[in-house]
């Protein structure tokens, strides 16, 4: 898996049975500096891979861009620590379309200091409601409860890097409704995309970036399935991408529920076996 995983020697201890030396596989974590037209914008700790998607999704999440035509391209370049020895692939320079206004320097500094955890607090909820280009409250998508119950297992089956490391979060996008019988893509059980990363926010940004680069925003009529808890930040990113339904295998935070309620997003948590908790917009779960 290239730079996604790394192998390190460890001592494995079994209580009552002693210890043994072995090699363990770890998830790689490295910094990625995102630049806009050569100027530093944000630094995030991520698992290498799908970096262009990560940058594109991050810019969607922060309201800088909203559609595929806003994103012109990106290239890895040498960065701090390269020492003249070549490209570190830890700096990505992004070019936006001429019609996209760059973020102000003050906003760029804010990105730089908070990119690891996203936005927080009451003012941020108001900002999300104001900035998002998409109104998820008007999305008419519905999803059968039986289908939601299956999604964690489908997501888990596609987590190749997690199988090796046990240390990666994942985010996947699915179609919400039943497939049309005669449609070419009739297998709605299959995910549209799955992305893994040491950061749950990065995994989602990669999935959203995939959608942006493919001209698929807004993500109307989709379900976002995540492998962990539903934080405020994940709800924020879903709203910014136009995703109407967010399903998580673990608990949501109080602020995540508040933002989901105010934004009209369906938030489902503790999706385990045949049970789940529906926190907001339960009319979409049938």
Give me the CATH code for the 137-284 domain, please: 3.40.140.10
Highest mean pLDDT among 107-111, 113-117, 174-178, 202-206: 202-206
Phi, psi of 43 (to 5 degrees): -130, 130
- The residue annotated as part of the active site, out of 10, 13, 117, 186, is 117
Distance CA 264, CA 235 (A): 11
> Using one digit for the tens of pLDDT, what is the confidence trace for 207-262?
999 999 999 999 999 999 999 999 999 999 999 999 999 999 999 999 999 999 99
Tokens of 169: 């979060």
What is the residue extent of each domain of the chain?
30-118, 137-284
Residue 184 has pLDDT above 50, yes or no: no
> Using one digit for the tens of pLDDT, what is the confidence trace for 260-270?
999 999 999 99
Q: State the Cα angle at 28 between 22 and 29, rounded to 5°.
A: 135
Overall CATH class of domain 30-118: alpha beta
117 is catalytic: yes
The 10 Å Cβ neighbour count of residue 39 is 11
pLDDT tier, 117 (very low <50, low <70, confident <90, very high otherwise): low
pTM: 0.87
Residue of 42 and 111 predicted with greater confidence: 42
């Amino acid at each position: 898996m290239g730079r996604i995983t790394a192998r390190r020697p460890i001592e494995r201890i079994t209580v009552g049975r002693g210890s043994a030396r072995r090699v363990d596989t770890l998830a790689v974590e490295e910094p990625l500096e995102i630049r806009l037209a050569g100027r530093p914008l944000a630094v995030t700790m991520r698992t290498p891979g799908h970096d262009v998607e990560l940058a594109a999704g991050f810019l969607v999440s922060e309201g800088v861009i909203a559609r595929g035509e806003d994103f012109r391209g990106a290239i890895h370049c040498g960065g701090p620590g390269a020492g003249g020895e070549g490209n570190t692939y830890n700096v990505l320079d992004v070019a936006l379309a001429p019609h996209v206004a760059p973020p102000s320097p003050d906003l760029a500094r804010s990105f730089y200091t908070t990119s690891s955890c996203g936005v927080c607090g009451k003012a941020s909820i108001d900002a999300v409601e104001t900035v998002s280009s998409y109104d998820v409250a008007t999305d008419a998508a519905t999803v059968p409860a039986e289908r939601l119950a299956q999604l964690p297992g489908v997501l888990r089956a596609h987590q190749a890097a997690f199988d090796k490391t046990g240390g990666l979060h994942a985010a996947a996008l699915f179609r919400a409704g039943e497939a049309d019988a005669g449609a070419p893509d009739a297998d709605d059980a299959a995910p549209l995309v799955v992305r893994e990363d040491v950061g749950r926010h990065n995994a989602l940004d990669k999935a959203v970036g995939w959608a942006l680069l493919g001209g698929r925003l807004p993500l109307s009529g989709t379900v976002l399935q995540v492998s962990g808890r539903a934080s405020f930040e994940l709800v924020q990113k879903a709203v910014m991408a136009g995703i109407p339904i967010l399903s998580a295998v673990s608990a949501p935070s109080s602020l995540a529920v508040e933002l989901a309620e105010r934004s009209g997003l369906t938030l489902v948590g503790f999706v385990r076996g045949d049970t789940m908790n529906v926190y907001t917009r339960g009319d979409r779960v049938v």
